[in-house]
Homo-oligomer: A and B are copies of this chain.
Amino acid sequence: MPAVTGHGHDGAQDHGQGHHGHDHGDPSAMRPVAEHAAAVAALLAPMPAETVPLAAARGRVLADDLVSPHALPPFANSAMDGYAVRSADLAGAPAELPVAADIPAGRTDGPPLAPGTAHRIMTGAAMPDGADAVVQVEWTDAGTEQVRVDRAVGAGQNVRGAGEDVTPGQVVLTAGTLLGPAQIGLAAAVGAGTLAVRRRPRVLVLSTGSELVAPGEPLRHGQIHESNGPMLTAAVDDAGARGELLRFVPDDVEQFTRTLDEALAARSDDPVDLVLTSGGVSAGAYEVVKDAFSGRGVTFSKVAMQPGMPQGVGHHRGPAGDVAVVTLPGNPVSSLVSFEVFVRPVLRRVLGHPQPERPRVRARVAEALTSPAGRRQFRRGRIDAVAGTVAPVGAAGSHLLAALAHADCLFVVDEDVTRVEAGESVEVWLLDG
């Protein structure tokens, strides 16, 4: 059992937000982080595909390879404003050619080019049959009836060939692509008015605690403002899923279960994929989440980590059917760290992200630090990418939310490490990446 050294330190980190918990125990009896992570990962299957308009696709993940039905460009076209010509006609340039047609971009009925003539052509306009090059207007007198061309051009010059960018049937974006501006531009260019993307998992966020008061409401002595609900809902949305905050309820098992079941039933048309709770999972006398779910499909464990020891995973089997459940500890720092370790990668994986994890780098710690034996420690930090260093923000087992809000990374101290010297290298998870 790690020594409890006083408030705000090792023993104190899995409580907070006024929730109940114990953060001590025999590490050898604890569940390894990887084992709990696997149990959470097993809860959710990859999301099915749904079709959305292109304008709604930003930030979504492509469910199927996108195949272009046509070439891009779809037809040979001019790369310049100028004159479509047969290059052979200009072999003896300078030369004069009659201008037989005018081809603005978008003209769909451009006539073929007769030998010894030119067509005035704009950038992007289809090359007329018979032409093999474009002379840019700057090399001419810009005539509209007759044009004087000063220089010869080679075959193919200033012509974009059909299919130079994309060939018909080409896979232009693969399943798992995150759709940003450039990908949406490419999808539009190959004519996709809609895209098949993975459905965003729906996550119901519920926090518990009789001491909780909604932000914006006044506090009485003994009460605190509820922060986990808004925080975890934002974290769910940030991961690309759909978070919905269900108003927190007091520490009452019957009220908790009824509220949850009513909420699930009310959403049966667009069912909830995951219930995410915080608090009420520890060893205190009033542990509403644990009492509501224990022995009914949810397994509660002490996980060998710091912070975030009390964790639960399983299914709630209610009147509205089975729903996956992950229970996070009540302390806000523990809760968000646990979300990062267990929940976010799973949400992103079922969304189809090829890289569900946060970007990971290695950096040297700026100061020596300690970690409990047998537990994986997740420290909050600020990285200096230029120096290649990471500085801890807040104490190891800290419940300090202000420090968390100023961190830009987590870093990991492995289970078998109890002390890291300044300058030693650690794995860093970049939260802004």
The chain A residues found within 8 Å of chain B, CB to CB, are 4, 6-8, 11-12, 15-22, 24, 54-55, 58, 70, 72-75, 77-81, 102, 104-110, 120, 122-126, 136-138, 154, 156-161, 164-166, 170, 172-173, 179-194, 209-212, 214-217, 219-235, 237-238, 245, 250-251, 282-286, 330, 332, 336, 339, 361, 385, 399-405, 407, 431-433
Once the chains bind, are A284 and B123 in contact (CB under 8 Å)? Answer: yes
Cβ–Cβ < 8 Å partners of A400 in chain B: 164-165
Once the chains bind, are B110 and A222 in contact (CB under 8 Å)? Answer: yes
Cβ–Cβ < 8 Å partners of A212 in chain B: 106
Minimum-distance CB pairs A-B, first 5: A193-B216, A18-B124, A185-B231, A106-B211, A106-B210
Could you list some 27 contacts between A and B, CB below 8 A? A6-B157, A8-B79, A8-B160, A12-B160, A15-B80, A16-B160, A17-B189, A18-B77, A18-B106, A22-B138, A104-B210, A104-B251, A105-B222, A107-B211, A108-B223, A125-B211, A160-B399, A172-B402, A179-B234, A181-B232, A182-B405, A185-B230, A185-B234, A186-B405, A188-B226, A191-B219, A432-B433
Once the chains bind, are A6 and B156 in contact (CB under 8 Å)? Answer: yes
Distance from A86 Cβ to chain B, minimum over Cβ atoms (Å): 16
Distance from A157 Cβ to chain B, minimum over Cβ atoms (Å): 6
- Identical copies of this chain, number: 2
Once the chains bind, are B188 and A7 in contact (CB under 8 Å)? Answer: no
Cβ–Cβ < 8 Å partners of A164 in chain B: 7-8, 400
Interface centre among A4, A106, A179, A238 (most CB of B within 10 A): A106
Cβ–Cβ < 8 Å partners of A190 in chain B: 225
Cβ–Cβ < 8 Å partners of A77 in chain B: 18
Q: Other CB < 8 Å A-B pairs besides A106-B250, A433-B433, 7 of them?
A: A18-B105, A58-B238, A73-B224, A107-B211, A184-B231, A191-B225, A193-B214
Cβ–Cβ < 8 Å partners of A432 in chain B: 433
Once the chains bind, are B24 and A136 in contact (CB under 8 Å)? Answer: yes
Once the chains bind, are A80 and B228 in contact (CB under 8 Å)? Answer: no
